[in-house]
Amino acid sequence: MAKLLRENILVPTDLTDVANFSMDHATEIAKIFNHKIVLLHVVGKKVLGTPREKEIEKKLKEAMAQIKSRAKLKVSYLIEEGTIFTTISKVADRIRAEFIVMGIHGKKGVQHIMGSYAYKVVCSVNVPVMVVKHLHHHVGYKNIALPIDFSQESTQKIIKAAKFSNYFGANIRVFGFLGTRNKATIFKKEALLKKVKDTFGDLGLDVTTDLCIDPNIDWPEALMTFADKIEADLILIVAEKGSSIPDIFSQNSTERIIDKADVPILTVVPTQEDGDSSLEKSLVVRSFIDPMGLTGKV
């Protein structure tokens, strides 16, 4: 049976300026993939069927018109009752979204999303989430920072990273971090980074690898410094699926990165649809992509 295509980009919006930034990024991505955009506004109880719903509907139609004025894209909107933590996920599954693009205000966002709240949204969905704070610069996502941990986990994650980097025709900058200067540990991690580079090479992708060694800083600071240094226009995170995320990621580090990083962050969650290809089974490297602080562990 043929797979149903995922052709929708879901954009949760609270109709603020930062939400407009997310629509801006979504428009650029939709142009690349020729996807449809679905705007979503989540409301509380007793809003549907009231004059307030009409006001929201008017603003969403204005947003649709603005997107269509920039590109020949199919755009629609939904007004759904619920909470952001459940409704975004349910709608994404229902419409078979391929991406969710979400604007945040640092300490405020889509219905006051901030830090750990944005993290909870990421954990609740089964599709990639892009978190943005600024307008798109309209030259694509050409320089992607890919933070990597060295845990022995599924190769599916590195395959997923390769797919998304390839979509954007991007330079991939693989980044590892160590909080120790132990020579044996450094040698081991450098060898693993070389295997990562070889793995991407098997996929026909040329990457660079960087290892930051600094006991005086923590992982989020190292990652954001690296992203600034290379002028990254996207940080790509490949995360574990489902309930295991809270056990793997440091929520405080996630909150710091989401709150402080200026560049868009795309979090990719592998799904069963990705399957296990023969290439995945043959790859030697089982590196787990993780920007949340495990990299420094020996």
Query: Same domain, yes or no, for 150 and 282?
Result: yes
Query: Same domain, yes or no, for 162 and 111?
Result: no
Residue 274 forms part of a structural domain: yes
Query: Same domain, yes or no, for 117 and 181?
Result: no
Query: Same domain, yes or no, for 89 and 156?
Result: no
Residue 137 forms part of a structural domain: no
Give, as one character, the DSSP assignment of residue 248: H
The pLDDT value given to residue 153:
44
Exposure on the CB side of residue 70, measured as CA atoms within 13 A: 17
> Measured between alpha carbons, how far is 171 from 134 in angstroms, rounded to an integer?
21
* CA-atom Rg of the chain in angstroms: 19
The pLDDT value given to residue 84:
84
Query: Same domain, yes or no, for 235 and 105?
Result: no
Residue 217 forms part of a structural domain: yes
Residue 98 forms part of a structural domain: yes
Query: Same domain, yes or no, for 110 and 255?
Result: no
Residue 138 forms part of a structural domain: no
Residue 152 β-bridge partners: 287
| pTM exceeds 0.85 | no
> Measured between alpha carbons, how far is 140 from 25 in angstroms, rounded to an integer?
9
Which parts of the chain register pLDDT below 70? 1-5, 105-119, 136-139, 149-160, 164, 238-255, 269-298
**Reduced to 3 states, what is the DSSP secondary structure of residue 227?**
helix
The tokens of 60 are what?
């969403």
Residue 182 forms part of a structural domain: yes
Describe the chain by its helix, strand, coil percentages, rounded to 5: 45, 20, 35
Query: Same domain, yes or no, for 50 and 192?
Result: no
Residue 104 forms part of a structural domain: yes
Query: Same domain, yes or no, for 127 and 161?
Result: no
Assign residue 88 the CATH number of its domain: 3.40.50.620
Query: Same domain, yes or no, for 216 and 267?
Result: yes
Our count of domains for the chain comes to 2
The pLDDT value given to residue 8:
93
Of the three residues 132, 167, 183, the one that is the final residue of a domain is: 132
Query: Same domain, yes or no, for 162 and 265?
Result: yes
In tens, the pLDDT along 110-131 reads 434 444 566 677 777 888 888 8
Query: Same domain, yes or no, for 225 and 245?
Result: yes
Of the three residues 65, 100, 132, the one that is the final residue of a domain is: 132
Distance between alpha carbon 265 and the CA centroid of its chain, in Å?
5
Residue 3 forms part of a structural domain: no
The pLDDT value given to residue 221:
86
Q: Which domain holds residue 177?
A: 143-296
Of the three residues 94, 111, 132, the one that is the final residue of a domain is: 132
Query: Same domain, yes or no, for 30 and 100?
Result: yes
Burial 85-113 (b: 16+ CB within 10 A, else e): bebbbebbeebebbbbbbbbbeeebbbeb
